[in-house]
Structure 1
Amino acid sequence: MDWLIAILLGALQGATEFLPISSSAHLRIAGLFLPGAEDPGATFTAITQIGTELAVVIFFWRDISRIIGKWFGSFSGRVPKDDPDVKMGWLVIIGTVPIVVAGVLFQDLIRDQWRSLWITATVLIVFGVILGLCDMLGKRVKTLETTTYRDGLLIGLAQVLALIPGVSRSGATTSMGRALGYERPAAAKYAFFLAVPAVFGAGIYETMQAVSEPSSVGLGWGPTIAATVVAFVVGIAVIKLLMDWISRRSFLPFVVYRIALGTVLLVALAAGWIEAG
């Protein structure tokens, strides 16, 4: 049963990681209905996210490998320091610093208090509204190439909010990008780049912790690895669908979904149908 549950959770992780609807919230909610799953926990979530970030690396491999190559090349003088790809390398580094600091400082909150379903339901609604307003009112004049260091840092600060289940990493960073005037594809692409070091870092850290504390991997190593593989496969397909969607349409369906899901959760919690955990 653990294997089946893990595969289902892995598919859910891959399907929701890149959409602005919060994968961690969906894994948390799924634990209420899958027998024996309960709350999959921060460790399971972080490890399976390695699979989805591998999907990002594969999908954007040409961009990512070029950025890394030119960034290193700028130190030897082979590449001008003002090259756009060198700049993007620094933007990713600068934008990653806030979540690294927050992740270290707020470990206990991430693993415990912030996983309350009351918080999850509330932020699903609140950040759904924020996403809708930013997408509707934000200008569409800035491209990825015009990203400034100030904007990169602000989007990185927004990524910190993703430590709270229900906020959504892509939702928070994309909302900030749209509020700053970036086109939807540009905001989403920078959000993808920004997530890679943060998620890999968190996943590797949680994996090392789990090696020393096997009990923290609730479903066991085998099922968790299987879930990570499934998340990778599903994630690649979802990235393609999302990039195609936002090049022509708005985030409105995701906004409506977030508000509806959060409302249903609040009603269920208030009525005592489910426990906050």
Structure 2
Amino acid sequence: MSYFESFVLALIQGLTEFLPISSSAHLILPSAVLGWEDQGLAFDVAVHVGTLAAVVIYFRKEVVTLLSAWLGSIVKKEHNKESKLAWLIILATIPACVFGLLMKDFIEMYLRSAWVIATTTIVFGLLLWWVDKTAKFEQDEYQATWKQTLFVGFAQAAALIPGTSRSGATITAALYLGFTREAAARFSFLMSIPIIALAGSYLGMKLATSSESIHMGFLSVGVITSFISAYFCIHFFLKLISKMGMTPFVIYRLMLGVGLFAFLMTR
């Protein structure tokens, strides 16, 4: 890996982690088209740290409020809308954890292919388009019920299938339930905090038991680039979706999926 490759891969990870366009679909492109080698566990941990820091810092006020309310609900038995949302975020994380533990090997063996990614990129792009066109846009994340939260949580679990997009799946599910676009995005981003933290911790434990060499220069580029790109991605996505909706991302997904199919059929 070169510094240029580490910069490009971290930029891709930071931009695609929070947009509904599938990070896995983009991360296969450098290796498939340019022949780049796998970035390795250490780099995966670095970009997870960068994207996690971005979403935590961007939503720092909400994170502090939710964490304080959650602790208050345990220690002082005080319950309010913030503590409810905190518990719902925890609930939404459970399906992905269970699905990941049970299906990790199956996904790695059978679903992590360019053909699967191209297919899911198109299919879930069309689903996002349909939901965005038919959604009622009536509620925010604080009005969510535990049943609605589990539904979005299972959508997050389904996003473990490469090409689906975690943010795309959770935003699609929330829109289907009647969330506004902004509320669906905020709920998706807040839900990403525990799941990215858990994924990063898992990769970190694997790294600790591996013999992989660590290049601090590449890792620094990965952390900084993924942090900056993810932070600005969250900011502008939240600013723009109320005006432009999901259609531009749907069009992009369709173009990407068709492009992947065209590339695969000419290899």
TM-score bracket, normalised by the shorter chain, equals over 0.9
Distance in 2 of aligned mates of 1:91 and 1:29 = 35
Q: Deviations over 1:74-123 (max 9, x none)?
A: 2232x632x00000111001000001111111222343432200000000
Aligned length: 267
CA contact (8 A) 1:47 1:228 kept: yes
- Counterpart in the other structure of 1:4: 4
Q: Deviations over 1:181-204 (max 9, x none)?
A: 100000110101111101111111
Percent of aligned positions with the same letter in both sequences?
36
Q: TM-score w.r.t. structure 2 length?
A: 0.93
Distance in 1 of aligned mates of 2:165 and 2:75 = 38
| TM alignment of 1:72-221, pairs within 5 A | 72-77=71-76, 80-81=78-79, 83-215=80-212
What amino acid is the match of 2:161? Answer: I
- Counterpart in the other structure of 1:32: 32
CA contact (8 A) 1:56 1:236 kept: yes
CA contact (8 A) 1:135 1:175 kept: yes
Q: Deviations over 1:208-251 (max 9, x none)?
A: 10121134x8x856424421221011111111110001122210
Distance in 1 of aligned mates of 2:243 and 2:104 = 39
Shift of 1:45: 4.2
Point out where structure 2 has 5 or more consecutive residues left out of the alignment.
none
Closer, same or farther in 2 for the Cα pair 1:120/1:41, shift >3 Å? farther
Give 3-state SS (helix, strand or coil) of 1:193's partner. Answer: helix
Distance in 2 of aligned mates of 1:264 and 1:42 = 28
CA contact (8 A) 2:53 2:227 kept: yes
Q: TM-score w.r.t. structure 1 length?
A: 0.90
Give 3-state SS (helix, strand or coil) of 1:106's partner. Answer: helix
Distance in 2 of aligned mates of 1:56 and 1:21 = 17
Distance in 1 of aligned mates of 2:107 and 2:57 = 29
Shift of 1:168: 0.5
Give 3-state SS (helix, strand or coil) of 2:178's partner. Answer: coil
CA contact (8 A) 1:41 1:111 kept: no
Q: Deviations over 1:61-86 (max 9, x none)?
A: 00011000011012232x632x0000
